[in-house]
Structure 1
Amino acid sequence: MPVVNRIAEFSTDMAQWRQHLHQHPELGQDCHETAEFVAARLAEFGVDEIHRGIAKTGIVAIIYGQGEGPTIGLRADMDALPIVEATGLAYASATPGRMHACGHDGHTAMLLGAAKYLAETRNFAGRVALIFQPAEETGGGAELMVQEGVMERFDIARVFAMHNTPNAEEGSVMTAPGPVMAAVDAFHVHIRGQGGHGAAPHMTRDPIMAAVAIAQAIQTIVSRNSYALDDLVISVTQIHAGTTDNVIPDTAYINGTVRTFDPVVQQMVRDRLAQIVEGQGASFGVAAELVYEVGYPATVNDAKATEFAASIAREVVGDARVNANVTRKMGAEDFAYMLNARPGAYLFLGQGPSAGLHHPEYNFNDDVAPVGASLFARLVERAQPMAAR
């Protein structure tokens, strides 16, 4: 697999960095140890500036190239998930209930690899801003970093990121212009009835039956209210009610997720959810309240930046391993906020046979880290070539 020779030389270091991070996962914005590790490596590499404490534990490091030019941003996410690891690896999580089950440890190692190479060679004009972001899984760390002004403060002109893809060909690269990942919202339904004895249901206003009816009706939004060719996913993911077999409870709770690309479809879902919750609640004589939370927007790649990134991917991994028109995914990604602020592209890096993302047996494939680091490095060198002398 063609990678930058110098990056291939320290692939073992990258694996060690990644496995250390895997063993010490942190959640949300509280990536304190991770940030310390990243900052220490960056200092060793001799980057020019290290700015810490952005979005609480985020880091932006600056490397100066040779001569005047713009600043290109490269982003990696650092946070883990609240999952009990089941890999049995020697470097498995040392913190029970936390796990790098999405490969953010690998993403961070890849950006560190690119940083080491770029700090050594500086074969580019202008500057590169290395963005190490907390709280991708929850908390919208990318939005926080944008709100804290990273794009303006560091004069970032365009920005790129990548994510590993289990069960895609090892070392392959996938992307597409336009929307590549969905907007994600959450809904909560709080139902209050009147509980009582399970043997006398006629003396109650049963919130469980209302919850069942609401959950079933929600499923008709996709099948009966949405045009079949409009991408839409609505999943009820939690129903909680009751404590024992002979008591009808006072309350019930429903939670779920909505995935869309089109704001018109998104608004239709909000309207129908409100109508269903109100109507079904009234029909069962219970009070039913909908709380709708708008989450990450759709991740939309800039067409020119995507074409450029795909051309660099072909240079690194070969034409046959690049799909520049991949089918968009219903997953969500807070890198969307950075792409809303600056043109850029989000790429997917195949990691070969693997447990799926967010699975307790998932593990990042260290063999693809040099590919990702090479792609990051070449993006900088080709986007901002040095002037001829």
Structure 2
Amino acid sequence: MADNDGIRSDWVNKDFYAELGVAKTATADDIKKAYRKLARANHPDSNPGDTAKHEKFKKVAEAYDVIGDPEKRKKYDEVRSLYAGGGFPGGFGGAGFGGRSTYGNTGGAGAGGYNFDDLFAQATAQQGGAGGGGFADMFGDLFGGGRSQRRVRPQKGADIETTATVGFVDALEGVTIQLRLTSDAPCPDCNGTGGKPGTKPHVCNVCGGQGSVIQDLGGFQVSETCPACGGRQVVYDEACPTCHGSGRGLSGRTISAKIPAGVKDGQRIRLRGKGAVGEAGGPNGDLFVVVKVTPHRVFSRSGDNLTIDVPVSFDEAALGSEVRIPTLGGSPVTLKVPAGTPNGRTFRVRGRGVKKADGTSGDLLATVEVQVPAVLSPEAREALEAYRAATGGKPLREGLFDTAASEAASA
């Protein structure tokens, strides 16, 4: 349950850094990378029927919602640091607060002589505050006795990442696609309360509306999230039949995403405001689409240029020829192959490549592949033998031996 300034009463019991597998000193980028990795691995769409991973996805989303937000992270660290450093006399609900060591309310003055009002007044005075603000406003509702009720601040929704596959031609020309998205969200029927719609909540009688209970571990006590209300401080006699009391659900929606012309395989596109819905009127998160481009059977891409392999026969390469080749989405062009063209030579056809953002286009790069026939007719074999006899006085590999011998001598 959210308290003043967006603080949650169960933060002291949850290690969000451990949930994301990062150190407390991790940078914002490290936290974001860890969240995205875990979210992809445990997303319900990728793990249908796996309740363990669904639950992990929810915990990861909750952790990122807190420490992924600089302001929430600061408050979370302050709460955890104060608790770990003994900043609350007697601990949370220990002897200093009512002296209880089992489940129950922790309000009022206790054996340690501390009273909530006195504690907050003292802490506020130490910080130089008076009246509202300071320690009392920041942590008051953490114990159910806050002096002020501040409106929950709007929070930006979480960013979502998905993958979209488009065809080779669509990637070059641009296309609008439909994406089906599923993300963690408050239950649509109970609005995140966990109670059956139409019913009213009452204060949890296990924790007394504190959201946490004290567990005696023999020699020391720890504060834990109340098992009855899950930290919400209130309970419903009847659970929501849709979310079974969890207050969480999955939001499914279909959006139109415009893939710009010239997008490359593996490129990450940001669609602002298409992510998860914001909280308390905050803006929506962003959607990141990783584009996968299916290969073409004839053309390939090299930057802003298109490439094509052009098979030519031995006689076309040796004697020279004119070869017609296709272009992508346009009329064929004639490629002039000069006599004596070697295998692997690349010719450039200008303006027949990828269309650029400035309106110009790259080129089409055509690479010659000289084909060697696997089967020869008697006439072709006779002609080739005659060619061999005519060129037999010019050994092609003589230079290999001379070069190899000179390298060996100099070694």
TM-score of Structure 1 vs Structure 2, range by shorter chain: under 0.3
Of structures 1 and 2, the one scoring higher in RCO (CA 8 A, sep 6+) is: 1
Q: Which has the higher helix share?
A: 1
- The alignment's TM-score, normalised by the length of structure 1, stands at 0.18
- The alignment's TM-score, normalised by the length of structure 2, stands at 0.18
